[in-house]
Chain A
Amino acid sequence: MDLLYLFIFAVSAFFTILVVALIGYFTVKFRRRNPDDVGADIHGSLALELGWTFIPFVLSMVMFGWGASLFFRLATPPANAMEVFVVGKQWMWKVQHPEGVREINELHVPTGRPVRITLGSEDVLHDFSLPAFRVKMDAVPGKLTTMWFEATKVGTYHIFCAEYCGTKHSGMIGQVIVMTPQDYEVWLSGGRSTGTAVENGERLFTDLACVTCHKPDSTGRGPSLLGVYGSTVKLTDGRNVVADENYLRESIMNSQAKVVAGYQGIMPTFQGMVTEENLMQLIAYIKTLKPAAPEAKK
């Protein structure tokens, strides 16, 4: 990314110096000597027009292409990334590691391991910004967003909230603490765990009585959730949707929006009964539900 930045900087510097030099030169060389003087009778030049249209166009397309490929890479976390859940609320960041360790305004990560963050918001828009890793993503209430990065150097780096969210927006800051993998394991095991995300999710699944309708053998009033994550689901209105994290989240919070074909829209809404963190834990649990027979892989 920094290389791209340098490229655009170089192009910008070049054109700035060029135009400024030209203007400086023209205004001096062609300065008015007699008060009645006028300029030469020049109207234009098609060649020049095409030239200075085409060249900026080409340069900007290079920038676009380079930036787009970088963007795609940033939008696609590697498959072996470790999952971290982050929830923003006025005015703090709540971080949960899959192993169960929780942090507030801090995120410990090991070097050499991609980290995929699932981001949510309890109230208004926030943005989880990690300038040292050149990434940020908005935390949008009502949905889940994702971002990823990989730390390479041990050290401490800024976390900023980068979407204005009210009084203590500039206080919603923290640190990413990058450790060697060994140190990270030590830290992890030393941390107080309130259960892994999956364990918490499973507990919620029972406590909220999801299991009474979503029986694994499809005899319940709701569809079985074995293997649902990542699968394509057919809805009552004929649409096919991919069951990603946002689909799962919406089904819990606003179940009428997408009803699975063959079922009635009787799932109650859990709006107000679960926090964003609960949702992430439930989703983590549901992702582990695999079908008994290995027919629908992954």
Chain B
Amino acid sequence: MANSTTSGVAVGHDAGHGEHHPRLQHHFFDMDQQLEASTLGMWVFLVTEIMFFGGLFMAYILYRYWYPDAWASASNHLNVQMGAINTVVLICSSLTMVMAVRSAQIGSIRGQVGYLIATIGFGATFLVVKYFEYAEKFEHHLVPGLGMTFAPPADHIHAAHPVVGSSEQLFFSLYFIMTGIHALHMVVGIALMLIMLVWAWRGRFTPEYYGPIEVSGLYWHFVDIVWIFLFPLLYLLGAHLGAGH
């Protein structure tokens, strides 16, 4: 049974130099083309992610325009401190990510491994803080559909617990969906980084071949940037709009 590679095709294989990089995939002409294709691919994928989150942002924009007071009062129920911690954590993780890619570019395995571990650590911290945040929301009955009560605002004046009016439910629905999907992307990101960590530790990346860690870095930065948008839009509204109940 003939082997598929011996069907006589020799496109783009050797223009005379004989051997090629062990990481060069067969359908690419050379390592440059491979890296360019991977990078363009990741950028295209990130564009799709922008569109994905975009739908959520559109819903947010519409309802904020319609119910600014509800938006402000709901935002006041969010934990700004935890949100701020997470923002700092993510920004640091992007820094360590960049350093990891740089380490690959200069061939330092220790650097790659160290910085990747730091990145994963920051990512995990983010998720842990998120867990505590969500737990707090559950306690305070701020999760729509799960015992979230909305009483006529007349009661609101006298209530001891934070009770939300009807349109605040929209805010919380969007809050959970937006931050939840973001958190899911973080989980995927951490999984990616773990794979990168194993590969880096095994010395897979060299100054000539570091594509996977670079495009993973792009993904990580994107997830960070989404949070940079989510944080002020969700957490800082009460302060910004000045309204509150």
Contacts and interface: CB of A to CB of B under 8 A. Distances in A.
> Is A bound to B?
yes
Interface of A: 236-237, 254-257, 259, 265-269, 271
A269 B153 contact: yes
B157 A256 contact: no
A271 B166 contact: yes
Interface stretch (B20-28, B61-69, B112-120, B197-205): B61-69
B179 interface: no
B207 interface: no
Given A254-B166, A254-B167, A256-B166, A237 B152 contact: no
B152 to A, nearest CB: 4
Given A237-B69, A257-B70, A259-B69, A269 B243 contact: no
Contact of B166 (A237, A266, A267, A269): A269
Contacts, number: 35
The listed residue with most B CB atoms (<10 A of its CB), out of A256, A257, A265, is: A256
User: Would you call the interface of chain A mostly helix, strand, loop, or mixed?
Assistant: loop
A269 B67 CA distance: 15
Interface residues of B, number: 13
B167 A257 contact: yes
Contact of B152 (A236, A257, A259, A268): A268
B154 interface: yes
Contacts of A257: 66-67, 69-70, 167
21 contacts: A236-B69, A237-B68, A254-B166, A255-B153, A256-B67, A256-B69, A256-B165, A257-B67, A257-B69, A257-B167, A259-B69, A266-B153, A266-B157, A268-B152, A268-B153, A268-B154, A269-B152, A269-B153, A269-B165, A269-B166, A271-B166
B122 to A, nearest CB: 39
Contact of A265 (B66, B153, B166): B153
